[in-house]
Amino acid sequence: MRTEIENDGPPRSPGPAAAKPVPVLAHLAAAWAVGSVFLPTAGAVLPAMLFAGGEAVFLVLAALGVAAILGYLVIVIRATRDVSVLGATRGGRLLWALLVMGPGTAGWALGWAATDAAGLGVSRDAALAFPLGGVPYALVAGVLVRGWRHRAVALVLSVALLAAGVAVLRQEPPDELEARLAARSVHRETAYVVAIPGYRPDDNAYGGGLGGSGFAPANPASVPPDRYITIAAYDRLMVGEDMCGQPTALDAHLPVGSCTAEPGGLVYRRGPVEHGYQVRVGRRYVAVVGSAAVGHALLRSAARSLRPATARELGDQEQTGDYYAAKIPGYTPQLTGIPAGLIYTPADHTGNGAQTVRITMYVSYAGGEDVCFLTKECTPAGSGLTYVRKEDTHGYAVRRGTVTVQVLGGLRVDARLLRQATLDARPATDDELRRALPPLEPSTGLDRFRRWLRAL
């Protein structure tokens, strides 16, 4: 009886068997010695050589040390070639030595940095540094041994330690926030924040609508326009410039958009931002110019009431014949320098539109400032608050431990809003400070590496 045997090809040779435990341990121990014996020895010798022989000697010895470690690893893999999957060929053995030295050293450096960042102090404790220093080299060698079980254990341990090291290094060092505060001259005690309904902070660095200093209305349309009138004299004319039969004074801040001749020889000029009149007084041309929010009739009345400014209006300034004043109800004058003249603003301090609705928070150490100094009104307002009224601002002050918090706004700001903002002001949290403060400039390669990790 004939029996047929199916044969799909030549007999298959069994795959490489897993290495035995004792040779594997000897193989791994030899790789472990790189980080636990050779590198600590080099770390003790090389700094002394740098001090004794200078930088050139240090570099030569460092290069010799790298070559010695690489040569040692080549000897190790030749002696234990049957243990590793790369031990069969000369090229494989050289690759093994480079892999153990390169990634092993990277893991060694990462491990020291991570344990120092975690405050474990391994690098300063010889009893811990000796057994742990060679672990990264042994793990790299373990990933390359024969037998999937050995490789799996080494790979899992490598990934776990790498993930733990990265997680630690991504965290901010305990003293970094304090260093960032010091770099920006920010004192934690006076770093207060508040969110004010209907307002946005000038700098939204804290996030969440929180601000630590200035605030402006969230709706720009709610900002009232500026109101002012300037009066300045000029004695030179622009060549060939004529509007409605009237020449234009050189350097005068006078609108040149359109003109209208009015009774009494006045010429009204209107531009996109300002409008007003130019009146000839002797050899000078006096410009009476107002912001767009100032009424036409008020400017006309001012132009018709021009006269030389009095000594009282000029204060300490000498009257040179260049200063003119006018009768402008509801406005008070001040001297200006460029151009020399007078500027009139509303007597109730509501003329500077943006400033009348701005809010500012001030935080100072208690006792360092008298909140009632130079105020028109300073009265207790309950809940530990003090209401203060100054020339063009008002608001509240409150004592918070070692600091005094003041929230002041322009005269158009509702006092109730300022009161609530003063009560709501609180110290900034660490997370808010981290967000608001710029990071420190990295000073070492490790600093740059940690910043890169945090950006991932």
Task: Please answer whether residues 199 and 218 qualify as being in contact, where contact means their C-beta atoms are separated by less than 8 angstroms.
Answer: yes
Cα–Cα distances in angstroms (integers) from residue 313 to residues 55, 59, 291, in the given order: 75, 79, 22
Question: Residue 169 has what pLDDT?
Answer: 83
Cα(73)–Cα(91) distance, integer angstroms: 13
Q: Tens digit of pLDDT for each residue in 155-197?
A: 999 999 999 988 888 877 767 888 888 888 899 999 999 999 9
Q: Quick one: pLDDT band at residue 274, thresholds 50, 70, 90?
A: very high
Asked if the model's pLDDT at residue 288 lies above 80, the reply is yes
Query: Which neighbouring-strand residues pair with 410?
Result: 393
Q: Which domains does the chain have, with CATH numbers?
A: 21-170 (no CATH), 188-220+353-436 (2.60.120), 229-346 (no CATH)
Q: Tens digit of pLDDT for each residue in 1-56?
A: 444 444 444 444 344 556 678 888 999 999 999 988 888 877 767 666 666 666 77
Cα(385)–Cα(270) distance, integer angstroms: 48
Question: Residue 83 has what pLDDT?
Answer: 92
> What value does the mean pLDDT take over residues 325-331?
94
Asked if the model's pLDDT at residue 357 lies above 90, the reply is yes
Task: Evaluate if pTM is beyond 0.75.
Answer: no
**Measured in whole angstroms, how far is the alpha carbon of residue 194 from the centre of its chain?**
19
Nearest of 41, 247, 18 to residue 154 by alpha carbon:
18
Cα(277)–Cα(268) distance, integer angstroms: 5
Q: Which residue has the higher pLDDT, 219 or 50?
A: 219
- Three-class SS of 416-438: HHHHHHHHHCEECCHHHHHHHCC
Q: Quick one: pLDDT band at residue 219, thresholds 50, 70, 90?
A: very high
> What value does the mean pLDDT take over residues 233-253?
81
| 3-state class (DSSP) for residue 205 | helix
For 118-235, where are the alpha helices, taking DSSP H only?
126-133, 135-143, 148-170, 176-183
| 3-state class (DSSP) for residue 452 | helix
Question: Residue 167 has what pLDDT?
Answer: 87
